[in-house]
Chain A
Amino acid sequence: MARLRHRAMTNPDRGPAPALYAKREPVFNRRIDGWFRRLKWSIMIVTLAIYYGTPWLRWDRGPYAPDQAVLVDLAHRRFYMFGIEIWPHEFYFVAGLLIMAGIGLFLVTSLVGRAWCGYACPQTVWTDLFQHIDRLIDGDRNARFRLYKGPWGPAKIARRLLKWTVYLAISFATGGAWVLYFADAPSLMRDFFTGQAAPVAYVTVAILTATTFVLGGFMREQVCIYMCPWPRIQTAMLDEKSLIVTYKDWRGEPRGSVKKAERDPGAFGDCIDCNQCVAVCPTGIDIREGPQIGCITCALCIDACDRVMKDVGRPRGLIDYATLEGCKQEAAGEAPIPVWRNLLQTRTLVYGSLWAAIGLAMLFALGTRTRTDISAEADRNPPFMLMSDGSIRNGYTVKLRNMQNRPRAMIVTMEGLPGAKMWTDDMPRERATRQVERVVPADATEVVRIYVVAPAGTPTQDFAFAVHSTSDAETDTSPIRFEAPETSE
């Protein structure tokens, strides 16, 4: 067993090597109120309401389809989103949505930096929620710190148990809401609590409850710093024109308390080193050290610093949203670049137009798609069949898709192949004509075996099956080949 693994170890000659493992410093972020905190509150309320509430919205689709507004029906391979129904072969709409989400993230990043991380990412929202639970149960920053340092006793155990119970309840609600997107929410809810739901529902809820509990309750900012690839990608996307939360060091440094500044006017910057920006940070960083991967740009330090600046009577914005380029100009004494100038970069315009183009193309495709579809597959063995009267028969498996939520009569015809007639495997050849009619049930695929017979001597050629619905103008065609013997015997 070859163990040629290098490992940082204590070397008596060179002193201790830096450890590769750093224990997590717990974060006890202080409560803060301000413009950005209120923005975060609103976004949290909206996103959580969307997540927990959406499965309960109803949408009437008539008697043949579920009435849940948003439903991923894996069993029947349908995806319902309000008035839109997506079949598996239309999955490119979902792919398009994902591409739009990806480009949307690029767009948002180039517009307002890591706004996704700071406000809308589920990890941020749930961590924020759990930190509020901490605050409600254990008190604010100092009380939580004291409790953390204090010995384990009945009071601490009781508080911890209470907190973890609340964590678990939120986690369970989170995992539980997830499965509701995949089945009728009210009936799944009833089945779930009466033990009649599918095992996969219980397993999914258990896994998502566990991940929410661990990721939101305990790992928190470590997910952003160590696990998530997005901060790394974003770091590559940010440049000196990107909006970031930044400490204006030329204004703040050197730091000094109000008293020191009063004693020695002019010797100190605006930063009074009150540490409030660190105290409110949900990831426990010091923004004054400059841009860093741990900063999710939630802007709570801006709220904290603005409040302190107001209290000491200095202008707000010592910590503020700004671009590195703007900071440079501002530091040089010039007027800061207005924010809208950042929004109108080539990059944001390219991302924006790309995003809009994909969106418009998808809307167009969605608006013009028909809910009638035909696809034909020719028999390969045998490819053609000589009949007793010398005519040539080909067999086809034809799929008729009725993607509307009502039964529809559909008529299949042939385009091309003169002289040919067709019949199905459930009718005699004598009744063969140029068309086949089928009533396709609502929201269903009908598979029809169609035999096409062409007069003796018909050569191999292309033709098409066409379908039209008798109740509306929807049509579709499926090009296909008619095979014939190369030479007649």
Chain B
Amino acid sequence: MAKKRIDEATGVETVGHEWDGIEELDNPMPRWWLWSFYASIVFALGYVIAYPAWPLVSQGTEGVLGWSSRGALARELAAEEARKKPILTSLAATPIERLPDNPALMRAAIEGGRAAFKVNCVQCHGAGAAGSRGYPNLNDDDWLWGGDLKAIEQTLIHGIRQPGDSKTRISQMPAFGKDGMLSEAQIAQVTQHVLSLSGKAGPNDAGAQVFAENCAVCHGNDGRGLREFGAPNLADAIGLYGTSAEAISRQIHTPRHGVMPSWGGRLDPATIKMLAAYVHSLGGGENFKDAAPGDGAAAAQSHDQP
């Protein structure tokens, strides 16, 4: 098959292969190409000696420079940890009540919390912290257990209805319908009354009666709720399980109760403070009740809770 010959047109020898009449000239390699090739061989020799190269049975050669991609990652992570350390240290040393006094630290905490939220909280509360039915919206100003930094931190550490945590926040609404405590008619009446609290229906005297006897002990006479019991405010526009008559009636009949894990054992105190600061910054955060005198905010908050 190999029929080397001199090509007439160029005077160059062919390599002797032929495909459908097409032949290949045996031109020498361009010099720049050859030199690049030799240079890359020299480079490769140096590389093999300096860097991890040959795979062996259980491990590869390590190279005299001792470089490894895992080592490089570890170094980068260590540098990042070192960068964050002063912030985390001062955050751990600052009681959350004093956090607003240090605006720079507060900013850092909010940004750190934004990142931690994406890892730990978005699964239930959503990426925008807007929640969904049964999962509280953290952007609004409606808080079941309190919306100041301390209350949010407490909820984060011990969770809600977390089995095995003695300090967890617990509330339990009786299943008025399922357990036969109220008749269907009474549930319908009290549903109308609850709707009337937020102006969605006219007054219902019978419902008001049922409410006063069964519900006011937790939700208050005016239906504004009681945070000590985690009893929701029924007189506002927001309902965790919906605000329609059907949703309210279902909740009275067979209440649902959500669970939030206690994060105290999973996250370090600094991260929990950062999460609290972030959630507080989402637009619904409340000031501490004992805010500095003369701060109009304290008085204006009086409607929240007696």
**Are B237 and A6 touching (Cβ within 8 A)?**
no
Nearest-Cβ distance from residue A350 to partner chain B, whole angstroms: 46
A387 located at the interface, meaning its Cβ lies under 8 Å from any Cβ of chain B in the complex: yes
Known interface pairs A5-B27, A382-B128. Does A430 touch B11 (Cβ–Cβ under 8 Å)?
A: no
Cβ-neighbour of B281 out of A388, A393, A425 (below 8 A): A425
B16 located at the interface, meaning its Cβ lies under 8 Å from any Cβ of chain A in the complex: no
Q: A12-B11, A385-B283, A456-B237 are in contact. List 4 more A-B contacts (CB 8 A).
A: A5-B25, A382-B130, A428-B296, A489-B244
Cβ-neighbour of A3 out of B24, B137, B141, B243 (below 8 A): B24
Distance A428 CA – B300 CA, assembled complex (angstroms):
9
A149 located at the interface, meaning its Cβ lies under 8 Å from any Cβ of chain B in the complex: no
Distance A390 CA – B142 CA, assembled complex (angstroms):
11
Cβ-neighbour of B24 out of A4, A387, A428 (below 8 A): A4
Distance A381 CA – B281 CA, assembled complex (angstroms):
15
**Are B130 and A385 touching (Cβ within 8 A)?**
yes
* Contact residues on A (Cβ < 8 Å of other chain), bracket: 20 to 34
Distance A425 CA – B281 CA, assembled complex (angstroms):
6
In chain B, residues 1-48, which have Cβ atoms closer than 8 Å to a Cβ of chain A? 8-12, 24-27
Cβ-neighbour of B296 out of A7, A380, A393, A430 (below 8 A): A430
**Chain B contacts for A389, CB-based, 8 A:** 236-237
A427 (CB) vs chain B CBs: closest residue: B297
A391 (CB) vs chain B CBs: closest residue: B237
Most buried by A among B10, B126, B296: B10
**Chain B contacts for A426, CB-based, 8 A:** 103
Nearest-Cβ distance from residue B7 to partner chain A, whole angstroms: 9
Nearest-Cβ distance from residue A30 to partner chain B, whole angstroms: 36
**Are B130 and A381 touching (Cβ within 8 A)?**
yes
**Are B283 and A393 touching (Cβ within 8 A)?**
yes
Known interface pairs A2-B24, A385-B139. Does A9 touch B11 (Cβ–Cβ under 8 Å)?
A: yes
B23 (CB) vs chain A CBs: closest residue: A4
Interface residues of B (CB under 8 A from A): 8-12, 24-27, 103, 126-128, 130, 137, 139-142, 198, 233, 236-238, 242-244, 281, 283-284, 287, 296-297, 300-301
**Are B237 and A386 touching (Cβ within 8 A)?**
yes
Distance A364 CA – B10 CA, assembled complex (angstroms):
65
A431 located at the interface, meaning its Cβ lies under 8 Å from any Cβ of chain B in the complex: yes
**Chain A contacts for B139, CB-based, 8 A:** 382, 385, 393, 395
Distance A390 CA – B243 CA, assembled complex (angstroms):
12
Listed A/B pairs (27) with beta-carbon separation below 8 Å? A2-B24, A9-B12, A10-B11, A11-B9, A12-B11, A13-B8, A381-B127, A382-B128, A385-B130, A385-B139, A385-B140, A386-B140, A386-B237, A387-B284, A388-B238, A389-B236, A390-B237, A393-B139, A393-B283, A425-B281, A426-B103, A429-B283, A431-B297, A449-B281, A451-B283, A456-B237, A489-B242
Known interface pairs A389-B237, A425-B281, A425-B283. Does A489 touch B10 (Cβ–Cβ under 8 Å)?
A: no
**Chain B contacts for A379, CB-based, 8 A:** 128
**Are A388 and B25 touching (Cβ within 8 A)?**
no
**Chain A contacts for B297, CB-based, 8 A:** 428, 430-431
Distance A380 CA – B126 CA, assembled complex (angstroms):
13
**Are A388 and B10 touching (Cβ within 8 A)?**
no
Nearest-Cβ distance from residue A323 to partner chain B, whole angstroms: 44
Cβ-neighbour of B233 out of A380, A381, A388 (below 8 A): A388
Known interface pairs A430-B296, A430-B301, A456-B237. Does A7 touch B130 (Cβ–Cβ under 8 Å)?
A: no
Known interface pairs A3-B25, A388-B233, A389-B237. Does A489 touch B243 (Cβ–Cβ under 8 Å)?
A: yes
In chain A, residues 359-416, which have Cβ atoms closer than 8 Å to a Cβ of chain B? 379-382, 385-390, 393, 395
**Chain A contacts for B281, CB-based, 8 A:** 425, 449
**Are B140 and A388 touching (Cβ within 8 A)?**
yes
**Are A388 and B11 touching (Cβ within 8 A)?**
no
**Are A385 and B137 touching (Cβ within 8 A)?**
yes
B236 (CB) vs chain A CBs: closest residue: A388
**Chain B contacts for A10, CB-based, 8 A:** 11
**Chain B contacts for A430, CB-based, 8 A:** 296-297, 300-301
Distance A386 CA – B198 CA, assembled complex (angstroms):
14
**Are A387 and B25 touching (Cβ within 8 A)?**
no
**Chain B contacts for A449, CB-based, 8 A:** 281
Known interface pairs A7-B10, A395-B283. Does A387 touch B141 (Cβ–Cβ under 8 Å)?
A: yes
**Chain B contacts for A385, CB-based, 8 A:** 130, 137, 139-140, 283
Known interface pairs A388-B237, A393-B283. Does A6 touch B10 (Cβ–Cβ under 8 Å)?
A: yes
**Are A387 and B140 touching (Cβ within 8 A)?**
yes
Distance A291 CA – B127 CA, assembled complex (angstroms):
70
**Chain A contacts for B140, CB-based, 8 A:** 385-388, 393
**Chain A contacts for B130, CB-based, 8 A:** 381-382, 385
Contact with B along A424-453 (1 / 0, CB 8 A): 011011110000000000000000010100
